[in-house]
Structure 1
C-alpha cells in the first residue's frame, strides 16, 4: 500500500543525525537511499525546512509517523504541475496563436501531461508521495464567474482523475477521502475561483442555476469573489469595502442549499464578515493569512476568523511568503496556525498551501519567440506592495508543497497533541465537507 511518502528514508536519516537534530547535509545524503527515492529538488526543500526547524530526533520521527498515518487535506492548493513543452508553444506562437489559446495550451500541459508523458507522471506521483497529502481541495475553476471559463480547469482535472484513478481519484464526499487513504491513493476535491453566473440577469434563480450543475460535476467549494468586486460582493483588492450585495446574500443561501462550501479567501473584510454571519453551514477562508500576525489584504482579522469559527468553519493558513510575513518561512506558517488554534480553537484552523510542486524536467531546447508586453488580466487586482518580497531562498524552500510532512513535525515541536494535529492537517476540513453535504 502507498504510505504517502518514503518514511523509511526519512527515519533512517533521522537516526543517523543523533538525538538533537538532523542537519541539512545529513538529510541530503541519506535521502537518496531506499527504493522510493526523492529527487534533488524535494530533497533540498526538505533539508531547508529541517535546518530551520531543527527538530529533535524524537520529534522528527514522531511527526513523520503521525503524518503518514493521518488523513491529510490541503484546504486549497494545486496538484503537481508538469513542465511546459516549448516546442508546442513555439509552434503555436509562430502560427499566430492569441493570448487565450496560448494560456489554454500552457494550462493543458501543466495540468494534464502527467497523463500522457511517462516521465512527467513519475515526477507527478513522486511529489504526491513526498508530500504525503491524501486530498487537495483543487483549484479547478479559473478566476471569474463565466461558466465556460470555469469549466476548462474542471475538465482538465476530471481528465486526470479519470485516467490516473488508481493513483489520484476524484473525491466528492468526506468518505471518499477516507476511502482513498485506506486504499493508498490520493485524491482531488474540486473548488472554483468563482460562483458560476449565467449573466443574463433575468432573475436570481436563473442566474444561480449553474451552482447545482457544477455541484453535479463534483465541485464542493466556491470563492464568493476573487480580488475585484463582482455582483456578489467586494474582493480584497478593492479600495472600498462594500460587503455582500443583495444578490450576494441570495448566492450564499444557494451555496448552502446546494451543498457547496462558501469560501471567502479572496473576499474583502466586510464581504467575508457578512458571509460568515449569513451562512447557515460551516464556511471557510480556505487559503489566507492571519491579520493579527501579519496585516495583508489576503489576511483575515480576528473578528472575521471568529465569525467563520462561529459557523463551524475554518481558516486554512497559506504558504505564500508575502502573506505570512516574519521570516516568511515554515516558522511563520506555524505562528499563524498557533494564533488561530490558541485563540479560536484547533477545530477552526487548517493548512491551505495555495502552492504547487513544479516538475524539474527540462522543457527542451526549442527557444520561444519573443512576445511583446501583455496587459494585466482583469482579475489580477493586486494593490502596490501586496505581491513580491518572497524572502530568502531557504525560507521559501521551507514552505515547499512537498514539505507537508515537515508542517506536521513543526506542530509536534509546538506541543500539539496527536489528536489536535490530526484535526489541523485534515480532520477539520473533513468535518466542514461533511457538514455541507446535502445528502
Structure 2
C-alpha cells in the first residue's frame, strides 16, 4: 500500500549484491536432493520491497525461500527486475512453477515469483486488439517472462473491475475476458484487498482454478475499505485458494470511524493483533486457506497523505511517514516472531508450516503447474 504517486517511486528496483547461497558446497548431488523428502517452503506471498542485498538478507533472517515480487507494472520495471536477476543468477532465479521453487531451494538460492497489482499493461494502447474475438492481449508475453499473479485493479475502478473504493462495481465484459485468459494460461487472479467486493465475487463465480487475495486484512475485525469481507474470503476458499494477511498497521487499527477524531491509532496494532487475523481466518475457512502477504515496502521511502490522496482517503489510513507495520512485525526478518506467537496460541507445527508457505505451494501447483 502506498500513495498513487509514491508507489511508482517505491518500486524502482535497485541493484546490489546478493546473499551467498546457503547450501553451496554441501556435496549433495542433484539426484540425491531431488529424491530427498520435501522440506517445507516459506513464502513471502506479496511484497513490493526493492530487491537489494539488504532485503534478501532480511528474507534469509526471516527464513524465507520464495518471495512474490509485487509491483505496479511498467515495461521499465519489468526490464529492471530481469536485469537484476540476470546479474545475480548465482543467488536468485525467477520461478515459473512450484517445481522451480522447490528446486531453487534445494540449490540454496532464493526464488522470485512475479506479481502485478493491476492488469492495465495487458491491454496497453497500441499493443492489444479488443475488436477481435477473443481479444488479443499482451498476456502471453508477460507469462513467458514469469508473471504469475495479477490483480486487475488498484483501489480505483479501471476498464476491468471495480476497485475497493467502488465496492458495488462488478467485472466488466473486458474484465471477464482477462480473467478467463489468466485462468486458461495459468496465472493466479488476485481478488479482495484492492479489488471491490462485487468484482471479487464475480471473479470467484467464474473461477475454474484457485484464486487468491495476496495481501489484505479481515473487514469483520476492522471495517477499513481496504479490507476484505467474509463473503469474499469464503468464496476464495471455495475455489481452493488462500487469503494472504497484510502486516500494514492501519488496516488493523483504522477505519472511517476514526476520521476527524485522531490522526494516529490510540493503540498500534502489534504482532498479537496480526495473529488475531490468522486465528479468525482459521475459524472462518480453515488452516488450508491462509498465507503470509505482508506487503512490506523495505528499501524505499513512501509517504501517504490521505488528505491529499484520492486513492487513499482518510477513512482508509492516517498520515504514514513512512508506511507503518504491526509492531513486532515491521519487516520480513521478524517472521519467526509470528511463528512464535502462533506456537504460543497452540497452532501445531503442521498448521504453521501451511500458513508460512505450504498453502502457497499447494495453490501454485494447482494454478501455475507442479
Same fold flag (TM > 0.5): yes
User: For residue 78 of structure 2, what is the aligned residue in structure 1?
Assistant: 154
Question: 1:415–1:271: structure 2 CA closer, same or farther, 3 Å change rule?
Answer: same
The root-mean-square deviation of aligned C-alpha atoms, in Å, is 2.8
User: For residue 243 of structure 1, what is the aligned residue in structure 2?
Assistant: 170
Post-superposition offset of 1:404:
1.3
Tell me the alpha carbon deviations over residues 140-162 of structure 1, each in whole angstroms, 9 at most, x when there is no partner.
Answer: 443xxxxxx2x222222211211
Q: Quote the Cα distance in structure 1 between the aligned partners of 2:155 and 2:298.
A: 24
- Structure 1 residues not aligned, in runs of 5+: 4-68, 82-110, 115-120, 143-148, 361-375
User: For residue 334 of structure 1, what is the aligned residue in structure 2?
Assistant: 275
User: For residue 314 of structure 2, what is the aligned residue in structure 1?
Assistant: 384
1:423 is aligned to 2:354:
yes
Tell me the alpha carbon deviations over residues 91-124 of structure 1, each in whole angstroms, 9 at most, x when there is no partner.
Answer: xxxxxxxxxxxxxxxxxxxx5xx4xxxxxx3x34
Aligned partners of 2:248 and 2:324 also within 8 Å = no
Question: 1:409–1:231: structure 2 CA closer, same or farther, 3 Å change rule?
Answer: same
Tell me the alpha carbon deviations over residues 305-332 of structure 1, each in whole angstroms, 9 at most, x when there is no partner.
Answer: 1100000001100010011227412111
Q: Quote the Cα distance in structure 1 between the aligned partners of 2:171 and 2:300.
A: 40
Aligned partners of 1:329 and 1:399 also within 8 Å = no
**What secondary structure is seen at the aligned counterpart in 2 of 1:209?**
coil
Q: Quote the Cα distance in structure 1 between the aligned partners of 2:335 and 2:148.
A: 23
Question: 1:344–1:389: structure 2 CA closer, same or farther, 3 Å change rule?
Answer: farther
Aligned partners of 2:94 and 2:113 also within 8 Å = yes
| 1:64-213 correspondence runs (5 A) | 70-79=40-49, 81=50, 114=52, 121=53, 123-142=54-73, 149=74, 151-195=75-119, 196-199=122-125, 202-203=130-131, 205=133, 207-213=135-141
- Structure 2 residues not aligned, in runs of 5+: 1-20, 24-38, 254-266, 302-307
Q: Quote the Cα distance in structure 2 between the aligned partners of 1:394 and 1:134.
A: 22
Higher Cα radius of gyration:
1
Post-superposition offset of 1:396:
3.4
1:298 is aligned to 2:222:
no
Aligned partners of 1:317 and 1:350 also within 8 Å = yes
TM-score by length of 2: 0.77
Question: 1:270–1:128: structure 2 CA closer, same or farther, 3 Å change rule?
Answer: same
Q: Size of the alignment, in residue pairs? A: 312
Out of 195, 211, 216, the residue aligned to residue 144 of structure 2 is 216
Aligned partners of 1:154 and 1:190 also within 8 Å = no
Post-superposition offset of 1:204:
5.9
